[in-house]
Chains A and B, each alone.
Chain A
Amino acid sequence: MVKKRRKILTHVILILVCIVVLFPIVWVVSTSLRRDNAAFSTKMFSSRLTFQNYIDLLAPEKNGPRLVSDIDALVLSAPPHDKATVEEANKLFSKDIQKFKEYIKETEELKMQIDKSIQAVRDYFEQNSDKLVSSFSNNLDSIVATLNFEKPEEYLGVAAYELYNNGVDLSTLSEINDVFSGKNDWERMIGDKKNQAEKLKTRIDELTAILEPLEKSYASQQSQFTNQINTIKTLLLPQLKEYSKVLNSLTQILESAKDSEAYAEFLPDEEFIMSKFTETLSEIANLKLETEKYADLQEIDTTVSEFQKLYRKVLSKWRNFSYKDKAPYSDFLNTVDAFTTNVASTIKESVLLLNQLNSTTQKMFELQAQINQQSSNATKLKSQLDKLNNEIDEAYEKISQALVYLNAQVLKDQILEIKDRVSSLSLPSQLQLLNIQSKRVFGLVTDFAAQLPEGSKEQKNLRALVKNIDWPGTAKDMFTNYDLFVENYEPYISELKMYLGEAENQGSEFITVSKTGIKVRPQSLERLTDVVLSTYRNNVVPNMNVMSRKATDLSDKLGLKDISKSLKTIDGAAFRIDQIWQRKPDHYLLRWIMNSIIVALSVSLITTAVTALAAYPFSRMRFKGRKYGIMFLLLIQMFPAIMYMIAIYTFLAFAGKYIPGFGLSKISGLVFAYLGGIAYNMYLIKGYYDTIPDSLEEAALIDGATRWQTFVKIVLPLASPILAVIVILTFMSTFNEFVLAKIILQDVKQYTYAVGLYTFSTGPFETEWGLFTAAALIGMVPMVVLFLLMQKYIVGGLVSGAVKG
């Protein structure tokens, strides 16, 4: 029993996995069959299906616009008809005209179908006016039925006053005699608090208004502070370092004075210099006191204190110096004199800067204090406000049931009133009135539903009930757009007929003329082209498409079997008219597939032939290089194939100039580029040759056959199965190749299927999912079938080496 259950579970899981894995395929199939534009649709799947995408890709109809341009080419003797003789051109011309007339006829028939169907729908509306209106009323009834909420015992008065405050008219409600009865409670629960909250808000706003400029000026002080710190650093640090060096040198000079033999002739005023020097030391101490204050200036501080130490060292040395008569001592004094002046000025500058910094900091502190005070006030107020808001929310929470109840009562009355108004309407003449009421119902109910707890049963029910209630609007839109469509359609089709008639009469004359080289496009043809291409698109399409869409919507919304057929006909006929007259881009899918097949077939045949030949000696003969030959090949093909392309690209570009029909953007060039991948096939074929017994060939050799003969007559026929497999596998891999083809092929008509499909997924086609998926499916199905058929070999080829080992 357990085992069985587990088995079912396994199946369920496997089926789920299959669904997830194959979902993209399902999506591709369904999207390729859709009539609407899937990329812009809000539905993942659609029920409006068509094979049009496939028709457009595989057998595009020579529809209106295409016919016009064909006629134009015939009359002007332009390509593709420039080579046709006058007779041929005339024949083709009359054929085209004939086809054109058929299209006009078909369009008129379709138009008639639309007329009839619209009439049918109108008739149905007229005959079943009461039924439709009563179904609408029934719908309203069921809404009213859903609105039955339990009458809460508490807070009814408060809720009533709240609603009254918001401008809701409660006079119709029987429960509420006096809306002011709940006023006091309301004031206590909500009103007072709201007032308080309002006051708080204004105060907070005031505070923010004060805070803002403060914060701004704080920020500016802040940036000033950083600037000043930086200035001091960049000014003082390097100088101090320089001065330290000088101090070191000074010590050196003093030292050297000891040993000097020269005596000074004149000594500068030693005492004065010393006093200046000592004075400066005290200034340095002052500076240090300033820099100590700032953590940001720690670097300077340490440098200053080191400098100070050095300075003291020099001073003490100087004081104890006894060789004061030596010449270097005089140098020392001179240096010290100059040095002290420099240091003193630097220190002075720095102190000045530091003073500025001090004042900035001072300001910042003051500002900060103000900001702190104000913002703490603001925070307090805000927390009060939050509390108040919470209380208000709680109050609303308490009365919410009552509110909902009252609202439901009001809504009920409103809907009943609407029902009253609607009941006397007669369709279709008063469709617009019904539409207005349905919109009102929709708005009222949706607003009410938004007040209900999210996801509740009532909410869902109500939303479902009004989802389709706007069908009168849809019907009205359909009818209006139909009228507009007819208005534009009539001149369109009559102009079409008129110009076509004229073009038909003039055509053969102009064909004769244009063959002599005088190419004139008759006015009628010009106008015809204009009408087909632009009048249709600008005047006819917009209303027709809206009409067709609304018809489908209406069919979905009403769900009435009697008219859904007519509505479907409208949609279908409009779609067909659009197919006839819509200007469509040309697709080259068939050509691409042909190109792919040509390329893949040539490549597979050539490489198989070449490899079958080359693999033979590896299997049967002894020669140098046999041992590592294939391995070498396999390894060398690990070189990224894309990088071959720089060389092959330049080679093809070059060769294309000299060899006609070859080179870049030519299929032949692509085939050539593909021929490089032979190593793996060689490896496979060699493996198969190895399994063919030698004895057969040996017997033949004894009978006098040459090696070549044994190869052609014995080995090749025996190996034919593997060769066939390799042809197919190479065919598949070449067909599926994209990158090299993308690089080499530049002309849209030379594209292979892979490159072509890529263009379907980019640029203007990015959202044309119908065409893209259809094209993808067309290429995909044969490849999948081939793969499944060849499965054994593909899997075997990949695994055999490993499993055997």
Chain B
Amino acid sequence: MLTLFTVFSIFGGIFLLSRGFYELSITLFVLIFLIDFFIINRKAYPYRYMIPALILLFILVLYPIAFTIRTAFTNYGTGHIMTRQEVVERLLVDPIYTYVIDDGKLYSYNIYVRYEGTQPTTDFKVIVYVGNNPYIARDYRVLKSEAGELILGEAELIKLSESGLRFERQNGRIEIIRDGKKLYKYFYSPDDLSTYINEDFFKYSILFPTLSKVEFTDSLLNRYSIRQDMEGRFTFSQIKHMYKLGLAETVEKGKSVVKTVIINTSTNKPLIEENGTIYDVSESGEKFAVAGYISGYGFKNFTKIFTDPTISGPFTKIFVWNFTWAALSVLFTFVIGLILALVLNDPDLRGKTIYRSLLIIPWAIPAFISVLIWKNGFFNETYGIINKFIVAQLFGGEPIKWMNDPFWAKVAVLTVNTWLGFPYMMVVTLGALQSIPEDYYEAASIDGASKWQRFWKITFPLLMTTVAPLLVGSFAFNFNNFGNIYLLTGGGPAMPNTTTPAGSTDILISYTYKLAFEGGRGQDFGFASAISIIIFFIVGGLSFINFRLSGSFEEVNR
């Protein structure tokens, strides 16, 4: 059982390795090793309980972290998505990198399809006419496929008379082709209007999934394929690949080395590779980028935060705002929560539970719903009820640009966050207030302390000892409070003069998200990963302090 599992997983790992998922395959190998070790070794018994957790942990936490750390040192992003191997393969294989030779020759082609009952199938044959000579394409061979999907196929063209297939003509046109027992009926020809009703089936079931990816070769090794011409028709034309593999001698460290290089077939010059980008050189000697691949980037993603003025400026602003945002959120929620808690802590107050339940509701509503409600109904600049009823009708003012003025956008996000967060603070402080012994107050009132003194000398210090770790925790939470910012303003309004998608209300995490997933100005996974490592250190540090503060370490170590 265990061997079976191990063997199977190792195969999986090798497969992943061959596909360029290095981190993932290493993760998998370590995982297999650990699992086997835990099960074989009796001393490692306690770990057996953790196997499922470990699997999840490795794939969903450790692997992504490793991936992120590695990505932070690469240029992974728009234009640099694939590995070098994949890029080279694409240059050689992808139909994008072929061109049609316009030699004035026209080839007409007919499609024959096998039927099942009255329904056509995707089993087809192609006959091409060169002049009046019919050629038939043999069944294609798969040159490259991915996950069962054809990427490139190749088929030979041979004279129909030499193919050994039997066929029947009617009115001079070949109507039926027989291949053993299989029968192919005349189905579609772009020149024959009577087959027009079959065009959709031809296009969507034969051409796009298969036929357009097959290249045909004749006896002279010329290549042909079906390509869309300027007028949108699909014609059978002779094609040529733009690039081929070749050998070139270069001098490296004083020795001449023979390397495989990609060669432009029309200019016969090798392509140039620099910084993870492949350049082609045109006949007039101009260099232009053809494709990019992931390559090492060193510490550039980190250093450009400080050196590139179009990045460092917005980054500093975002950094400062991130701290301001977290601090103000904690301050506002705590002050409001504390005041309400002090009011509700009065033992003689009636209906305390009702007030408490009502005031807790903002916390109970899923945050994304509330934020969307605020955004759509309240802060919308044209329709929102704050602008429409409060600003315009009550004060008669100009509509406030909640989403387009940096200051008001910040006011909006802070307002919403305070609304969302104060119930938590209220509940927490209420709990802490109730744990303060009554005797202290009695003693104080005997000594003649005023209400104010009692609050500052007894309540507040005792409160802070219990609440301080929660405030730090809340700070850390708000520091990374992606959802509120993203859903409310999307980080906007956009900052001027920057090459990255930075906005005035962006915090680091939303900035990172935009860098990575919102392709408006191109994705930059490398830079995003670098920032997320920085965030990790800030938040991790905060949490570490917090564990210390709250004594959680001792609790776990008990």
- A: residues with CB less than 8 A from B are 7, 10-11, 13-14, 17-18, 21-22, 24-25, 27-28, 31, 39-40, 42, 44, 516-517, 609-611, 613-614, 616-617, 621-623, 626-627, 630-631, 633-640, 642-648, 650-651, 654, 657-658, 672-673, 675-676, 678, 682-683, 686-687, 690, 707, 711, 735-736, 738-739, 743, 754, 757-758, 760-761, 766-767, 769, 772-773, 776, 779-780, 783-784, 787-788, 791, 795, 798-799, 801-805
Contacts and interface: CB of A to CB of B under 8 A. Distances in A.
B558 A40 contact: no
A767 B373 contact: no
Contacts of B348: 7
A617 B487 contact: no
B299 interface: no
B13 to A, nearest CB: 14
Given A613-B53, A736-B368, A18 B376 contact: no
Contacts of A803: 431-432, 435, 466
Nearest to A805: B551
A24 B361 CA distance: 11
B479 to A, nearest CB: 10
B370 A24 contact: yes
A646 B357 CA distance: 40
A802 B377 contact: no
Nearest to A656: B147
Contacts of A683: 556
Given A635-B544, A642-B513, A690-B558, A621 B46 contact: yes
Given A638-B539, A780-B366, A791 B551 contact: no
Contact of A739 (B44, B63, B482, B544): B482
Contacts of A17: 340, 359
Given A635-B540, A761-B375, A802-B467, A780 B487 contact: no
B165 interface: no
A33 B376 CA distance: 17
A642 B419 contact: no
A757 B535 CA distance: 29
A639 B543 contact: no
Q: Across chains A and B, which 10 residue pairs bring their CB atoms closest together, nearest first?
A: A657-B147, A676-B60, A614-B53, A617-B46, A787-B364, A647-B64, A647-B67, A643-B532, A644-B64, A736-B366
B553 interface: yes
Interface in B456-496: 466-467, 469-470, 476, 480, 482-483, 486-487
Contacts of B17: none
A297 B32 CA distance: 79
Contacts of B362: 21
17 contacts: A7-B349, A17-B340, A28-B373, A42-B388, A609-B52, A623-B46, A639-B68, A640-B480, A651-B21, A651-B63, A654-B21, A672-B60, A736-B368, A738-B483, A758-B372, A773-B373, A783-B366
Nearest to B356: A791
B557 interface: yes
Contacts of A644: 60-61, 64-65, 68
Nearest to B339: A17
A614 B49 contact: yes
Interface residues of B, number: 105
Contacts of A516: 118
A35 to B, nearest CB: 17
A647 B68 contact: yes
A17 B426 CA distance: 13
B466 A802 contact: yes
Contacts of A28: 373, 377
B187 interface: no
Given A676-B61, A743-B517, A780 B365 contact: yes
A256 B408 CA distance: 73
B359 to A, nearest CB: 6
B21 A638 contact: no
Given A25-B361, A517-B118, A642-B509, 12 more contacts: A13-B343, A17-B359, A516-B118, A517-B119, A614-B54, A616-B49, A634-B543, A644-B61, A654-B19, A678-B56, A739-B513, A769-B377
Contacts of B59: 651
Contacts of B349: 7, 10
Given A7-B348, A610-B52, A802-B550, A675 B60 contact: yes
Contact of A643 (B54, B64, B469, B555): B64
B59 to A, nearest CB: 8
A727 to B, nearest CB: 16
A28 B385 CA distance: 12
Contact of B536 (A27, A638, A676, A805): A638
A642 B435 contact: no
Contact of B509 (A22, A609, A640, A648): A640
Contact of A673 (B47, B60, B369, B512): B60
B50 A614 contact: yes
Contacts of A646: 64, 67-68, 71, 516, 525, 528-529
Which of A517, A614, A683 has most chain B Cβ within 10 Å? A614
Contacts of A795: 427-428, 431
Contacts of A626: 46
Nearest to A783: B366
A635 B348 CA distance: 43
A640 B146 contact: no
Given A773-B373, A801-B555, A636 B61 contact: yes
Contacts of B469: 801-802, 805
Given A639-B532, A676-B61, A27 B67 contact: no
B445 interface: no
A627 B361 contact: no
Interface in B489-517: 509, 512-513, 516-517
B278 interface: no
Nearest to A613: B49
Contact of A776 (B53, B373, B432, B532): B373
A678 B49 CA distance: 14
A627 B375 CA distance: 45
A783 B45 CA distance: 41
Given A24-B373, A614-B50, A643-B528, A739 B486 contact: yes
A675 B552 CA distance: 24
B366 to A, nearest CB: 4
Contacts of A673: 60
B12 to A, nearest CB: 10
B399 to A, nearest CB: 14
B157 interface: no
A799 B470 contact: yes
B378 interface: yes
Contacts of B61: 636-637, 639, 644, 676
A686 B556 CA distance: 9
A766 B372 CA distance: 11
B24 interface: yes
B483 A739 contact: yes
B271 to A, nearest CB: 26
A658 B68 CA distance: 24
A233 to B, nearest CB: 27
Contacts of A640: 480, 482, 509, 512, 532, 535-536, 539
Contacts of A776: 369, 372-373
B355 interface: yes
A516 B349 CA distance: 79
Given A678-B57, A758-B368, A31 B419 contact: no
A610 B53 contact: yes
A623 B509 CA distance: 37
Contact of B47 (A623, A676, A735, A801): A623
A52 to B, nearest CB: 19
A603 B90 CA distance: 39
B539 A24 contact: no
A10 B470 CA distance: 28
Nearest to B147: A657
A631 B46 contact: no
Interface string B332-375: 00000000100100101111000101111111111111101111
